[in-house]
Amino acid sequence: MYYLIILLVYAAVDAIACLGLSQQFGVAGVTNFGFIIFQAAGAYVAAVLALPPDTADGGFQTYIGGLSLPFPLPWIGAAVAGGVLALPFTFLVGRRLRGDFAAVGLLVTAVLLNLLVMNYRPLFNGDAGLALVPTPLRQTMFVTTSNAYQYGYAAAGLVLAAAVYVFVRRITESPYGRTLRAMRDNDKVADSLGKNLVALRTGALVTGGAIAGLSGAVLVSFIGVWSPAEWSYAETIVLFTAVIIGGAGNHAGAVLGAVLVPVGFEEVTRFISNNNPNLPPNLLPSLQWVAIGLLITVFLWLRPQGLLPERRRMIRAPARSPAAQAPPEPPAEPAVESAPAPAARAPVPAPVTEPILRTSGVSKAFGGVHAVAGVTIAVGRGTLTGLIGPNGAGKSTLLSLLAGTAKASAGQVIYQGQDVTAVPAYRRARAGLVRTFQLASEFKRLTVLENLLSAVPSHRGDTFAGAVAGRRYWRGAEDLAIGRATELIERFGLARHANDYAGDLSGGQRRLVEIMRALMTEPSMLLLDEPMAGVHPELARRIGAALVGLCQDGMTILMVEHELSIMDEFCEPVIVMADGAVLAEGTMAELRDRTEVVEAYLVG
Amino acid sequence: MSLLLASVGFGLITAAVLAIAAVGFTLQFAVTDVLNLAFAAVMTAGAFTAYLVNQAGYSVWVGLAAAMVACAALSAGLNYLVYAPFQRRGSAPITLVIVSLGMALIVEFGIASVAGGIDVSYQMSQGRTVTIGGMLLSTVQLIIIAISVVVMAAVHALLRYTKLGKAMRATAANRMLARGCGIRASQVIALTWALTGALGGLAGTVFAIDVGSFNASSTDIFLILILAAVFLGGPGNAYGAMLGALVIGLATEVSAAYIEPDYKYVVAFVALLAMLAVRPTGLLGARA
């Protein structure tokens, strides 16, 4: 009977830990190979907050603290410690570092902290660890039999696990959670949409760390000892296996994984060793690790989404937008019927005002190659400016410099009269300067509608606090955003696919998603990188007409495009680049008269 | 004999072993794009292969050759059966890192389940002890340093002067482009796995010779040193790995002479984290 209780407590501890890991790895895409140290730290803090000063009991063990705090303070302290411990690692998961490099950094940290603690006796009592950790409320509760108390403990653990489940779900299912998932799918794009990757990843590390710390507290208060050998980095792999098998990104899957892997494995091993007492002592634990290695690999191969895959979030448009419920889309005439024929387009007033964006001598060198060499351009307000040039002319690089997704090696970028050369991409995006990418950049495991919603600027629910505050707090803003997104999706003729995964769409449809998503940020200026590449000519013309319409409404667009007929039809003026420099600028008609342009590009 | 000189001697030997492993690891990463955390487990497989050969009555140097062959096969096999299929499917780099951890567990604990948890050592003589410039070194230790120097020279020659080496560099720089230029990238990658596996087997055996007695988990911490050396020099940069190995090897052993020996790894750890924070491309690396 007692064994069942132990099992339940372990299940609760592992479930809590797996939920924290699932939040980090499955939702936010932060691979924390050092996860176990957060659990260990939480357990240690819970222990020393509950323990009396270390001079008690004859001072047979040394530790920091010893505050004899009453329950629940040690557990709260554990969660705080787990969260605070995450802060020093923020730099590892920032904007610049590849995810697998960061994972290696965290792994190494876990191994070395374990090594340090095992060997440094004065600080953490070395590999002896801690013993006689008080059990919460043991003295104050009027529980006569040991069994009743144990049952109560197990029940409390399970309730706590349930509470953590509700908490992480609340975050994941909020607009903030959607942003985390967007970052997981493509961090560079999330950055360009105005998401602060450092803050988001720090949030994920801290939340997961706090949850891990809490799980450590539940464990240490139950078993009464804290032994550093129990927190080796390999334990992290067990938890990863659990989350991957259960289904990364699905919190119910994390709980299932916790029951199957850490708990299930202990059970199976115990069963085998009980029935085969003559096995070599080292054999079973070794084979257990081999099995973990096999499980992780086989699952990643056969069922990478896990037993309980992440659910697709179906969003129904708010009631007041009846059109959304009528899926059959008009096959033709989608984009903007109001867009006039380009010839009849009202002449754009000469930009007498300050241009919305200009550069002076902006440059970018990769090694010895000057991809962009001293480019000075000005983009007038309300224009649909084209940017053409042969392959390797530096068009995309220039776009990156303008958007801030690449750093200029020299020169200045002035946006709305302000020098933004040193401003990171997400802050330029928030200021209304938004780019799209040449390669497909949709958030694959978000639906079309979610892709659009993820771009909504300063959404109430798109902060950690907003997410915690709950649905009621952000529902209004969300409904408004859904209304806007639905409208856009209808305008671009994708209503039928609103709730499909963006990753499942055709190439042309994905370009549309990307443009719509950029529009959701309500930009003042759009930087489009070959939005019509690989798009059916008919659809391309529709997109072009839509863009002209947007410019008439006051937006400015700078568009890289290879298709000259598109340039002819929609763009004015057009800037020609070659070899990293601006070769010419003017209307297409003017450019055709200039021999150097024709030689560089317009041949044929 | 001064403490400093003695520790420099130890440092040179550690650096010699580390350099072989780090160059293997970094070449593997550069060409195959897999951050293979199972590298240390492959080293262990090499050390135990040499042990089996040694137990059968042959010299440990014969065992070393056998370890290189066995680990070349193991490494190429891991790629053929596991990593390549995942890469063909377009798995994210982080998925491959997790898979490589799985492989590390399978290899390391597969060995442990057969070998048991006990420490073993080779039957060999350490040879005469010689004093060079105040450092006291055994013949075997000198041989390890000599092997390392020869390997570094061979890697340099391979990358600089041979067709395979140039193809490896091209594949590392841009796999698609290399394919377009008529390089059979998959073949170059398979060869790289075998070659770096052989380096792993070599490193594992000289590591085992150097530490004296070892078990299936002995290379766990050594992996940290490899990672530190590789990231210090710039991941994917062979010369960076050599430099990193020298710095990490000397720094850990010299610091061990003055602080608690148990903390010598902290130096490697700080170096690694500092590099990740400040300059993820490493001392010699330009390519992220």
DSSP SS3 for A374:
strand
B 217-236 residues with CB < 8 A to A: 220-221, 224, 227-228, 231, 235
Of the candidates A111, A237, A282, the beta carbon closest to that of B101 is on: A237
DSSP SS3 for A504:
helix
Would the CB atoms of A104 and B231 count as touching at under 8 Å?
yes
**Which residues contact residue B228 at a Cβ distance below 8 angstroms, ignoring those fewer than 6 apart?**
A108, B244, B248, B268, B269, B271, B272
pLDDT of res. A116: 80
Question: DSSP of B176-208, one letter per residue?
Answer: HHHHHTT--HHHHHHHHHHHHHHHHHHHHHHHH
**Which residues contact residue A462 at a Cβ distance below 8 angstroms, ignoring those fewer than 6 apart?**
A174, A175, A176, A178, A179, A456
Quick one: A88 exposed, middle or buried, by C-beta within 10 A (0-12, 13-18, 19+)?
exposed
Question: DSSP of A106-142, one letter per residue?
Answer: HHHHHHHHHHHHHH-HHHH-GGG-B--PPPTTTTTS-
How many angstroms separate the CA of residue B111 from the nearest CA in chain A? 9
CB B190 within 8 A of CB B36: no
Would the CB atoms of B105 and A290 count as touching at under 8 Å?
yes
Q: How far is CA B183 from CA A213, B158, B160, B163, in A?
A: 51, 16, 17, 10
Tokens of A193: 């949409």
Of the candidates B117, B224, B228, the beta carbon closest to that of A282 is on: B117
Residue of A nearest to B101 (CA): A293
CB A580 within 8 A of CB A396: no
pLDDT digits over A436-487, tens only? 887 778 899 999 999 999 999 889 999 999 999 999 999 999 999 999 999 9
Would the CB atoms of A297 and B82 count as touching at under 8 Å?
yes
Of the candidates B101, B112, B272, the beta carbon closest to that of A108 is on: B272
> Which contiguous run of DSSP H or E holds residue A362?
strand A357-366
Q: Any CB–CB contact under 8 A between A237 and chain B? A: yes
- In angstroms, how far is the first alpha carbon of chain A from the final one? 86
**Dihedral over alpha carbons A218, A282, B40, B279 (to 10 degrees):** 10
Measured between beta carbons, the chain B residues lying within 8 angstroms of A288 are: 109
Tell me how far apart the alpha carbons of residues B113 and B44 are, in angstroms, rounded to a whole number.
13
Looking at the predicted structure, is the pLDDT value of residue A145 above 80?
A: no
Tell me how far apart the alpha carbons of residues B135 and B199 are, in angstroms, rounded to a whole number.
27
3-state secondary structure A232-293: CHHHHHHHHHHHHHHCCCCHHHHHHHHHHHHHHHHHHHHHHHHHCCCCCCCHHHHHHHHHHH
Q: Is the model's pTM score more than 0.90?
A: no
Tell me how far apart the alpha carbons of residues A434 and A437 are, in angstroms, rounded to a whole number.
10
HSE value, Cβ hemisphere, 13 Å, CA-based, for A517: 34
Would the CB atoms of B106 and A240 count as touching at under 8 Å?
no
CB A402 within 8 A of CB A435: yes
Nearest Cα residue to A388 out of A114, A573, A187? A573
Spans of all domains in chain A: 2-231, 346-432+523-604, 445-522
Would the CB atoms of B266 and A112 count as touching at under 8 Å?
yes
Q: Any CB–CB contact under 8 A between B270 and chain A? A: no
**Which residues contact residue A208 at a Cβ distance below 8 angstroms, ignoring those fewer than 6 apart?**
A20, A21, A23, A24, A30, A32, A35, A38, A86
Q: Any CB–CB contact under 8 A between A4 and chain B? A: no
Residue of A nearest to B281 (CA): A97
How many angstroms separate the CA of residue A241 from the nearest CA in chain B? 9
pLDDT of res. A332: 41
How many angstroms separate the CA of residue B63 from the nearest CA in chain A? 25
pLDDT of res. A131: 81
Average pLDDT over residues A331-350: 42
Q: Any CB–CB contact under 8 A between B98 and chain A? A: yes
Quick one: A328 exposed, middle or buried, by C-beta within 10 A (0-12, 13-18, 19+)?
exposed
**Which residues contact residue A576 at a Cβ distance below 8 angstroms, ignoring those fewer than 6 apart?**
A388, A389, A582, A583, A584, A585, A591, A597, A600, A601
Would the CB atoms of A301 and B116 count as touching at under 8 Å?
no
Looking at the predicted structure, is the pLDDT value of residue A346 above 50?
A: no
Looking at the predicted structure, is the pLDDT value of residue A334 above 60?
A: no
pLDDT of res. A344: 40
Of the candidates B94, B276, B286, the beta carbon closest to that of A97 is on: B276
Measured between beta carbons, the chain B residues lying within 8 angstroms of A234 are: 105
**pLDDT band for position A11 (cuts 50, 70, 90):** very high
Tell me how far apart the alpha carbons of residues A201 and A234 are, in angstroms, rounded to a whole number.
23
Chain mean position to CA A367: 30
- Mean pLDDT per block of 10 residues along chain B (288 residues) reads 80 95 96 94 97 94 97 97 94 92 95 89 85 82 95 95 90 81 86 97 96 90 91 89 93 83 78 78 58
Q: Any CB–CB contact under 8 A between B77 and chain A? A: no
Number of helical (H) and strand (E) elements in chain A, helices listed first? 23, 11
A 514-573 residues with CB < 8 A to B: none
Q: Any CB–CB contact under 8 A between B277 and chain A? A: yes
Looking at the predicted structure, is the pLDDT value of residue A589 above 70?
A: yes
HSE value, Cβ hemisphere, 13 Å, CA-based, for B6: 6
Would the CB atoms of B104 and A280 count as touching at under 8 Å?
no
DSSP SS3 for B236:
coil
Tell me how far apart the alpha carbons of residues A586 and A571 are, in angstroms, rounded to a whole number.
10
pLDDT of res. A601: 65
Would the CB atoms of A237 and B106 count as touching at under 8 Å?
no
Q: Which fold, A346-432+523-604?
A: Rossmann fold (3.40.50)
Question: For residues A353 and A254, which has the higher predicted lDDT (pLDDT)?
Answer: A254
Q: Any CB–CB contact under 8 A between B278 and chain A? A: no
B 154-213 residues with CB < 8 A to A: none
* Number of other residues whose CB lies within 10 A of the CB of residue B22: 33
A 112-151 residues with CB < 8 A to B: 112, 115-116, 119-120
Give alpha helix (H) positions in A127-224: 146-172, 175-185, 187-192, 197-223
Size of chain B in residues:
288
Of the candidates B102, B265, B269, the beta carbon closest to that of A297 is on: B102
Q: To 10 degrees, what angle do helices A99-119 and A233-246 make? A: 140
CB B71 within 8 A of CB B46: yes
User: In whole numbers, what is the pLDDT of chain A averaged over residues?
Assistant: 85
DSSP SS3 for A501:
strand
> Which contiguous run of DSSP H or E holds residue A566?
helix A564-570
Quick one: A260 exposed, middle or buried, by C-beta within 10 A (0-12, 13-18, 19+)?
middle
B 109-138 residues with CB < 8 A to A: 109-110, 112-113, 116-117
**pLDDT band for position A58 (cuts 50, 70, 90):** low
A312: amino acid identity, one letter = R
ipTM of the complex: 0.90
Residue of B nearest to A98 (CA): B288
How many angstroms separate the CA of residue A198 from the nearest CA in chain B? 13
